[in-house]
Amino acid sequence: MSCMHRSYMENLLLSLCFPLLLFLVLPPTEAFYLPGSYPHRYGDGDLLSVKVNSLTSIETEMPYGYYTLPFCKPIDGVQNSRENLGELLMGDRIESSPYRFKSYVNETDVFVCSTGPLSKEEARIMKLRIDQVYQVNHILDNLPAIRYTEKGGFRLRWIGFPVGLNFNNVYYVFNHLRFKVLVNKYGDDHAISQASGAIEEGVDVVKSSRTRHNNVTQRIIVGFEVTPCSHRHDIKQMGNLQMYQKFPRGINCDPLSLAMVVKEGEPIVFSYEVSFEDSDIEWLSRWDAYLKMEGSQIHWFSILNSLMVVAFLAAIVLVIFLRTIRRDLTQYEEIDKDAQAEISEEVSGWKLVAGDVFRPPPNADFLCILVGDGVQILGMAFVIVLFAAFGVISPASHGALLTGMLFSYLILGFVAGYVSVKLWRAVSGGERKNWASVSWRASCFFPGVAFLVLVSMNSLLWGSQSTGAIPFYLFVILLLLWFFVSVPLTLVGGYFGLKSSSIEYPVRINHIAREIPPPKYPSWLVVIGAGTLPFGTLFIELYFIMSSLWLGQVYYVFGFLLVVMILLVIVCAEVALVLTYMHLCVEDWRWWWQSFFSSGSVAIYILMYCVNYLVFDLRSLSGPVSATLYLGYSFLMVVAVLLATGSVGFLSSFWFVYFLFSSVKLD
């Protein structure tokens, strides 16, 4: 065996096996997670303001503004919180509310307001939102209000509480709220050690004149719970109560009783009570209650089991594949030069297509554009998941994940332009013209698909007057970001791809294309079947991601997601290599598009899974508009997966074919 052959095989083995060996050698770890924001210190009596987010429902997936229902408004008017791009795109509308507490001061029977007699339209909308199981979402110190219920001996956790209930076709509204705020003394040495690392100069820390002295106890909020009740107040006994005054008669908050009926022409009286409770929960652990997902043991076991099985299958495929290549190369190099010219088709099928293996495929420029966009999407996914795994981007920070995805995608436009133009130069034989056209189309393809989907979905949301509809000014901002950030970076990347060294093929391309023997089986069937193995690496994780997107659960296992993504890339590369080698062995030199779709076919299974999830897990999804929104956003996700996995398959096959025909001299 020649030195070139041995060096090629060793490099191939090390490059493919090294990531797999890392999975087997490194011990399992959990993601380093720092949810939340900087700790705010509150002294006794400091003012605490509760905020409200959009009303949400898993039955419609269309958020609505809190004040679209006849709820009480603050005395000084509704104030909108500063929101990032991610929050606006997600439909979050965080606003001020009339619910205000004094830190560490228990209050009961607090009057908020009394609405006027409900109009016919107000009563209809409230009943509709109750039927659609809309949830009210309160926020205190960046913590969503959490609600606990007992069922079958188990304690269930919910974020938010329903607007009301429909019992025997009678509609009841939850008009009295019992809040419980868990606090930890900031003066404790342990609490200081937990929070001091997060406090930096310039951070806005809420203080009052009473907390400026060192001898005054300060507290940090580590929990926020709510219990909704339906209570019918005696309007005659209210008199001329003003907001935040106390009711003359005590209110018995019984969550199991229903009393306040939603009826046209009758007002609704809102009230609340709040209690503070000392807790030993640490600052960094205050999100644990939100991250305790049901079936967590099954979740961890299933992911680990899936990783082990897929890694084992990948190792088997790798070993078989390398042994086959090694045998072919060994047999070929042991034959003398004269015998090589008379080599039979059975022994050297893949070597007979040496003059056609680099023949440009149809629509080669479009293939280069798809690969460039796929690399951009894959890079964005890895950057975001890596940052989230190390706590840089937290799902507890509203919209931070989506904002990070948006900006990382814009910046990685440079990579898309570079990859597209460099591949286009190789496919076109070193042509240097029209590189700007390739870069421009690379910057437009996936954003164009996303724009069409968003506009279509947005028209439905606008028609429903949902806060999930992207405002017109936000569309303008997104277009400006794309045109002035992504497009220039893509063109710059294309320019560097143009100036970089061109890829020289190791063999010459024949003038006349070699005839391809009739296939024994449809190639498209093999390509579609190839997606099963990549899909097996992520289908369990996909369930939890879908539950986070559509069922309101918090996704937090980014460490495992990072491992699954790395393993997915490895399996996609191996599947594409195997199918490319199989095509070459039967003298089919048309491997370009096949390599892209062999790994990208996992998107077909993800699409079928999305439909299955809609039918069986989102059975309560009501109305064609909600189903259309779900399918539209699922389609956008499937296109992104197709481009990302397809680019992995194509680049790995291109690299394999290049080095395979470089490893042996062909006449």
The predicted structure's pLDDT at residue 586: 81
Is 90 exceeded by the pLDDT of residue 600? yes
d(CA 316, CA 299): 26
Q: Where are the alpha helices (DSSP H) in 467-531?
A: 472-481, 487-499, 523-529
Tokens 């004040």 locate to 67
pLDDT digits 0-9 by tens, 433-483 = 789 999 999 999 999 999 999 999 999 998 888 888 888 899 999 999 999
Q: pLDDT band at 373, cuts 50/70/90?
A: very high
d(CA 271, CA 229): 10
Q: pTM of the prediction?
A: 0.83
- Average pLDDT value for residue range 375-380: 97
The predicted structure's pLDDT at residue 348: 52
Encoded tokens for 601: 């076919």
d(CA 306, CA 568): 11
pLDDT digits 0-9 by tens, 262-306 = 999 999 999 999 999 999 988 888 888 877 655 556 556 666 766
| Higher-scoring residue by pLDDT: 239, 427 | 427
Half-sphere exposure at residue 505, Cβ-oriented, CA atoms within 13 angstroms: 21
Encoded tokens for 280: 């030993």
Is 80 exceeded by the pLDDT of residue 526? yes
- Which range (338-347, 368-377, 460-469) has the least confidence? 338-347
| Higher-scoring residue by pLDDT: 507, 179 | 179
Q: pLDDT band at 602, cuts 50/70/90?
A: very high
Encoded tokens for 289: 């209650």
Q: pLDDT band at 26, cuts 50/70/90?
A: very low
**Within a 10 A sphere around the Cβ of 77, how many other Cβ atoms?**
7
Is 90 exceeded by the pLDDT of residue 330? no
Encoded tokens for 658: 């290049």
Residues in the chain: 667
Encoded tokens for 112: 């908020």
Task: Encode burial over 3-35: b for 16+ CB neighbours within 10 A, e otherwise.
Answer: eebeebbeebeeebbeebeebeeeeeeebebeb
| Burial class of residue 538 (count of CB atoms within 10 Å of its CB; 0-12, 13-18, 19+) | buried
Is 50 exceeded by the pLDDT of residue 517? yes
